[in-house]
Amino acid sequence: MSLAKRIEKALIDAARILHEPIHKRLEWAREEEERLDGKSVGSKASIAVLEAILENLRISRNEWIPMCQDTGMFDVFVDVGRSCPLSHAEIEEAILTGCEEGAKNGYFRPSVVEEPLFGRKNTKTNTPPIIWWNLVEGRNVEINILLKGFGSENTCATRMMNPTATEEQIVAAVAEIVTIAGGKPCPPIFLGIGLGGTMERAAYLSKRALFREVGVPHSVERYAKLEEKILAGVQATGVGAGGLGGKITALNVAIEYEPTHIAGLPMGVSINCWADRIAHIVWEG
């Protein structure tokens, strides 16, 4: 199967079936909400939302239809091996073709406009995708694609924290961003946090953080502990599933970081809705 066809298939599948760890986390949220409360008005409403989500996923799989009407914009992250025999042009062509064919044959809603402010004319193909390139060792190409709905994208944020910021201030800043978002990103949510670099790199890192498998902590212990603190801080907001109040607002927190300037601490916060749709493709060179 060509790389373009593999991308097309991965996108169609991702719009209909969540990865198993994500599905299990939603089931956990339903059980945990009832265990922690289950009786208050907000908690009962959250349980109803979670049950509706799980039923929605069952229908999506069985009827083979997209799980959400906002099938998202394609946010493509490409890791290219330095010795990869494919050229960047060949990879790009496969991505463009795969995305357009995936949107057409997967019955994706056309959600992309040609320019952002004036005419906002729909391209009618759900393309072009956003493409990020990254060089890595080896000969392979690894492609991760977020099917990024804009209910959640509109609530993402960057913060230029003081270089003296503490863990507690990081936790508080993320909790504030989630509180402001409320029910707009269709919680329960997945959080990617980017720390370091520059403003745009922090945002980029926050998106990459969303690709880490749910439930796998950061490999550096102190960042793994920070992930736990952020998750606890977000749960304490009481936003709840659907923004209706409840104990479970977020399903997972993942952090990525890199070096930054002595005078700054950029932070990016990417919020993904419960429909954490990711297409993953590896081409072996």
What does the pLDDT average to over 160-164? 98
Q: What is the mean pLDDT of residues 111-136?
A: 98
Which whole number is the average pLDDT over 41-60?
A: 98
Question: In the prediction, which pLDDT does 16 show?
Answer: 98
Query: Residue 25 and residue 11: Cα distance in Å, rounded?
Result: 21
Residue with tokens 């916060």: 269
Continuous segment of H or E residues that includes residue 153: helix 150-153
Averaged pLDDT for residues 196-213: 98
* CB-based contact 147:207 (threshold 8 Å): no
What mean pLDDT do residues 82-106 have?
A: 98
Residue 272 scores a pLDDT above 90:
yes
User: Is 7 a residue whose pLDDT tops 90?
Assistant: yes
Domains along the chain? 3-13+66-148 (3.30.360), 151-272 (no CATH)
Do the Cβ atoms of 77 and 144 come closer than 8 Å?
yes
Q: pLDDT band for 273, please (50, 70, 90 cuts).
A: very high
Question: Which pairing describes strands 157-161 and 189-197: parallel, antiparallel, or unpaired?
Answer: unpaired
| pLDDT of 285 over the 90 cut | no
Quick one: pLDDT at residue 282?
A: 98
CB 194 within 8 A of CB 257: yes
- 167-178 pLDDT tens trace: 999 999 999 999
Residue 250 binned pLDDT confidence (cut-offs 50, 70, 90) = very high
Pick from 179, 180, 176, 212: nearest CA to 194: 212
Give me 74's structure tokens.
């394609």
* Over residues 46-50, mean pLDDT: 98
> What tokens were used for 212?
């880490």
